[in-house]
Structure 1
Amino acid sequence: MPLLEEVKAALRITTNDEGIKGEVQELINSAKIDLVQAGVKESLVNMDEPDAIIKRAIKTYAKANFGYDNPEAGRFYESYVMLKQHLSLYGDYKAAGS
């Protein structure tokens, strides 16, 4: 399943509205940029099929940043930060020079 569809499912989005799909894709792109800036290998983040932990980080980032009235946004953001830190420090994911 394409990452866009996986993130839409994680956000409980069933519509194929282009505006919503565009917003979700922007969240995916933002999460990827944030992970790379944190020191995660760009080659792993930008794979056609990222591994499960990178997907989890992207989905958690999306859950933290999608919508306006999300009472769980803070909890999802904290989870994302912890995943990002783990990925940026773990040898298999850590970019050279980070």
Structure 2
Amino acid sequence: MLEKIKLALRIDDDILDEEIQDSIDAAKADLKLSGILESKIVETDPLIIRAIKTFCKVEFSTDDKEAERYRNSYEMLKDHLALSIDYTVEVIA
């Protein structure tokens, strides 16, 4: 996931890896706090990946208007995921 986020942030060196990883972890924790099942917060789900990328873009943006746009996008996606039973209800087979 770190490499995907670095690519999205247009960062190609390793100097910020720890800070980027902290943001990835914070995004996952925020999704979990929103009611999304931990088992659904996986690095293969395109909506989860998009949410984490957008969260990280907020954290690393240097432009306030751009950061606000990303924040709104992240919040809308997070709300969408939190309202979906596919992400909030464990299926027992």
Given the two structures, how large is their TM-score scaled by the length of structure 2? 0.89
Aligned-residue offset at 1:70: 2.2
Q: State the percentage of identical aligned residues.
A: 45
Aligned runs of 1:9-88 on 2, under 5 Å? 9-17=7-15, 20-45=16-41, 47=42, 49-67=43-61, 69-71=62-64, 72-88=66-82
Residue 66 of structure 1 deviates from its aligned partner by: 1.3
Deviation sequence 1:65-97 (CA, Å, 0-9, x none): 115x2230000000000000000011100146x
Unaligned runs of 5+ in 1: none
Structure 1: distance between partners of 2:34 and 2:89: 9
Other-structure match for 1:7: 5
Residue type of the alignment partner of 1:21? D
Structure 1 runs, 4 residues or longer, greater than 4 Å off: none
Contact 1:60/1:77 (8 A) holds in 2: yes
RMSD between aligned alpha carbons? 1.3
Quote the Cα distance in structure 2 between the aligned partners of 1:84 and 1:23: 22
More helix by share: 2
- Give the Cα separation in 1 of the matches to 2:60 and 2:33: 21
- TM-score calculated relative to the size of structure 1: 0.85
